[in-house]
Amino acid sequence: MTIADAADAPAAFTVMTPRFSRADITALLRERYGIEGDVWPLASERDLTMGVEASDGRRFVLKIANSAEDPAVVRFQNAAFLHIAHVAPTLPVSRVVETLEEESEFAAFADGREHMVRLLTYLPGDVLANVERTATQVTAIGRLLGELSLALSTFSHPVPGDEILWDMQRAAKLLPLAGSISSPDLRRQVEAILDRFAAEIAPRQASLERQIVHNDFNPSNLLVAADEPGRIVGILDFGDMLEGPRIFDVAVACAYHVPAEGPPLGLAARLLLACHAVHPLAEDEIPLLFDLIATRHAMTIAISEWRAQRHPENAAYVLRNHANAARAIERFAALRREEAVAELEKACRLRA
């Protein structure tokens, strides 16, 4: 697939989010799960996600998939939740709630379109993106990413065939979207990063260590304890999960920890060390991280500006990481690649 214009992008990113009324949702909960209660909307990029508080005090998350989403994607995610519950029950991941008919998911209709619906247990906590970041938190994030990737390393399941726009393996295909970037200077930087990925990293992808990965381990998808912000108590949103190089997954997580001041790679190196200690990475892949982190930032700029232009009503949400990504690209441009690679290798004790 070549993402040259809107028609070429994955359909789940171009079709409107599901339109179910509050009455529709409460009826689904009552008829399918025997649950009466209140519901409220939660932020979501392409699906309809609702918080649920049952009359008995239990809390859940109802997820209604975009009509363009392959039902196999929902089954894939549910299978991952079930696997994690079996092999790593202490990981703070939602559990699948079955319907009265013991279904893990089912189809519902709105505006003549079919949507896959499922209910998950609710994870309490504060969204990490909304609290002040600390070095202790970043270490905890790295450790938790290592634990999750270790659990998923034994997960085997047919992977849906639909392409994911946020799949770094296809980053070079986002070059046409860079034309949507409003700043000429930023556009040139993004194009240069994506060109480097295509020339230097894409040819190596087949030889990299692979497994099923979360692919979106960012602060908006992590919860911390309200009374102990250094403790991570929830991992959210497995919607971008895929099979791919594990080093790419680590790069995604590191990308969200480039500070506005101080050493640009200091926090990323801390996260890397903690992750590597739990689930070691292939040592010859670690030098790729600097360019991979930059690639994630370039993807964020290209995708978010393109989507904001197509869906201005959702621009605030899709552009939420744009400023940080643009700043990170500027900070990375001031670094020497050799020194940056050496810093990341030192984090894993690969250099003195």
Q: What is the CATH number of the domain that holds 115?
A: 3.30.200.20
351, pLDDT greater than 80: no
Beta bridge partners of 39: 52
Listed residues 102, 121, 140: the one ending a domain? 121
Question: What CATH number should be reported for the domain holding residue 260?
Answer: 3.90.1200.10
Model confidence at 5: pLDDT above 60 = no
What's residue 3's pLDDT?
A: 44
Domain that holds residue 83: 16-121
Residue 91 and residue 34 in one domain: yes
How many of the other CB atoms lie within 10 Å of CB of 9? 22
Query: Using one digit for the tens of pLDDT, what is the confidence trace for 178-206?
Result: 999 999 999 999 999 999 999 999 999 99
Lowest mean pLDDT segment, chosen from 53-62, 242-251, 313-322: 313-322
Q: 157 and 26, same structural domain?
A: no
pTM above 0.85, yes or no: yes
Point out the domain boundary residue: 96, 121, 146: 121
Query: What confidence category does residue 7 fall into, taking pLDDT thresholds of 50, 70 and 90?
Result: very low
Phi and psi torsions of 123, nearest 5°: -105, 115
φ/ψ (deg, to 5) at 245: -65, 130
For residue 7, being part of any structural domain is answered with: no
Secondary structure in 3-state letters for 124-172: CCEEHHHCCCCHHHHHHHHHHHHHHHHHHCCCCCCCCCCCCCCCHHHHH
Whether 332 and 232 share a structural domain: yes
Would residue 8 count as lying in a domain?
no
Same domain, 175 and 159: yes
| Residues 6 or more apart in contact with residue 275 via CB below 8 angstroms | 142, 143, 145, 146, 149, 250, 253, 281
Question: Can you give the length of the chain in residues?
Answer: 352
> Of 191, 218, 76, nearest to 133 (Cα)?
218
Tell me the backbone φ, ψ of residue 97, rounded to 5 degrees: -105, 125
Report the distance separating Cα 280 and Cα 184, nearest Å: 40
36 CB burial (10 A radius; 0-12, 13-18, 19+): exposed
